Structure 1
Amino acid sequence: MTTLSFEFFPTKTDEGTQKLLRVRDELAQHNPEFFSVTYGAGGSTRDRTYAIVKAIQDSGISAAPHMSCVGDSKAELRQLLHDYQALGIKRIVALRGDLPSGAGLASSELRYANELVEFIRDETGDHFTLEVAAYPEMHPQASNFDIDVQNFVNKVKAGADSAITQYFFNADSYFHFVDRVQAMGVDIPIIPGIMPITNYSKLARFSDACGAEIPRWIRKQLEAYGDDVDSIRQFGQHVITELCQRLLDGGAPGIHFYTLNQAEASLAVWQQLSHSAK
């Protein structure tokens, strides 16, 4: 069975929150397995993340808060786990997290995602399904691919149940990564993270920051469209639908959309995939 999930980020205004909840309601009609909610560097969005997670969970949909360890103490993480258990949360996306400006790893009690996974297991047993991150094109701060793959394996050995990848546009990178970690004994589901294409400048900025490669042919076509929003949207939908179809045909267990708090682009792709499957 193909799984479907969506990611949100916490909004900064009440108006933004109301819009997000409308998007939640629209996406919920497609029976996603969960909605994940991101968490800012060093817990900078902790309260806003919690509020969105609660609003999702209270509506009867499974929420999966991101939890990162860099910048938070064990006591703070322990309290957050207790709060999420009280809310009825059953799934957490466990991450190292981005370093707050001017901070270093040495200042954190837990420095890496595998340590956070182990901490959550020690504190809560099997209460939570734990998702971790995977990087088919290598984490931008990893020194080499071998080390990055081993870091992923360490997270799985620490107790991760499944993984969501950083977004990518080259299906081969996903298949190569999956083959490689399976050869190292990893058998958890690895869900492709998918970023819809709606705005080239924003996509280029995100991709430069996270190390996701935009293939040259996609870059050049998007540059050629300039400010032609409709052409970018149509081209993006076609490219991402084909990518998702190839991934699913190749055995990917589901799709996780990075929505940027919008419904239209993700749903256009998902509905096209659903139509093709009939």
Structure 2
Amino acid sequence: MKISEILKNNKVTVSFEVFPPKQWDKLENTKNTVKEMCKYNPSFMSVTYGAAGTTSGFTTEIANEIKKCGVSPLSHLTCLTSTRNKIHQVVGELEENGIENILALRGDIPQGFEFTDKQYFRNAYQLVNEIKSINPNICIGGACYPETHPESKNRVEDIARLKEKVDCGVEFLTTQMFFDNEKFFNFYEMCQIK
């Protein structure tokens, strides 16, 4: 089921996040953990992509395990260190496995990483555009930052970047963890200003 449909119910949702193992020999243990987590009937479960895509090979396999347990999987996909071909390959794998939810993220900048003229993706909205060009029916989520993204100059720029993602087809947003509810409510109100 698409995450956007789950969220339309306006009910409280509980989701879990799974971090793929760094080594193949730990994959079965992670799958067993997923089966245990699914027993708690979360609304959905997300699977991270790994720093700089280092454990990206496990993401689809774990998302598929979540799906087998009857829970909607949300597969993270980062683009900063990915080529266009790599993005098409990963989206194709997700489609082949019937996984219809992607959390489109730029990804953290690895230490020592430099943007070059050949850099295909610089921002998450470019990834959203690419995914939509591959399959417009995939449900895409994006990240938002109630306390402002650490790389943004200010709140206005931060919300402008968020609007780019939404305008490209992001269907739901998820926040980073925050500790001050007042900051979230202020952020929410600012996002509604037209």
> TM-score range, shorter-chain basis?
0.7 to 0.9
The ranges of structure 1 where at least 4 consecutive aligned residues each deviate by more than 6 angstroms after the TM superposition are none
Q: Specify which of 81, 85, 103 is matched with residue 75 of structure 1.
A: 85
1:103 counterpart = 2:113: yes
Q: 1:164 to 1:23 in 2, by over 3 A?
A: same
Specify which structure has the higher proportion of helix. 1
Deviation, structure 1 residue 32? 1.8
- Equivalent residue for 1:217? none
Spell out, residue by residue over 1:119-178, the C-alpha distance to the aligned partner (whole angstroms, 9 max, x if none): 11111012x111100100011111222111111111111100001100011111111111
Helix, strand or coil at the partner of 2:14:
strand
Helix, strand or coil at the partner of 2:133:
helix
Q: TM-score, normalised by structure 1?
A: 0.61
Question: Structure 2 stretches of 5 or more lacking a match?
Answer: 1-10
Q: TM-score, normalised by structure 2?
A: 0.86
What residue identity is the alignment partner of 1:87?
Answer: N
Larger Rg: 1
CA distance in 2, matches of 1:105, 1:177: 30
CA distance in 1, matches of 2:151, 2:169: 23
- Equivalent residue for 2:71? 61
CA distance in 2, matches of 1:157, 1:145: 18
CA distance in 2, matches of 1:76, 1:150: 28
- Equivalent residue for 1:30? 40
Helix, strand or coil at the partner of 1:137:
coil
Deviation, structure 1 residue 19? 4.2
What residue identity is the alignment partner of 2:141?
Answer: E
Q: 1:17-166 to 2 correspondence within 5 Å? A: 17-106=27-116, 107-126=118-137, 128-166=138-176
CA distance in 2, matches of 1:130, 1:7: 17
CA distance in 2, matches of 1:45, 1:100: 14
Spell out, residue by residue over 1:20-50, the C-alpha distance to the aligned partner (whole angstroms, 9 max, x if none): 3343233323322221111123311111223
CA distance in 2, matches of 1:96, 1:22: 29
What residue identity is the alignment partner of 2:75?
Answer: P
The two structures, once aligned, show a CA RMSD in angstroms of 1.8
8 A contact 2:35–2:69 mirrored in 1:
no
Question: Structure 1 stretches of 5 or more lacking a match?
Answer: 185-278
CA distance in 1, matches of 2:46, 2:182: 26
8 A contact 1:40–1:98 mirrored in 2:
no
What residue identity is the alignment partner of 2:169?
Answer: G
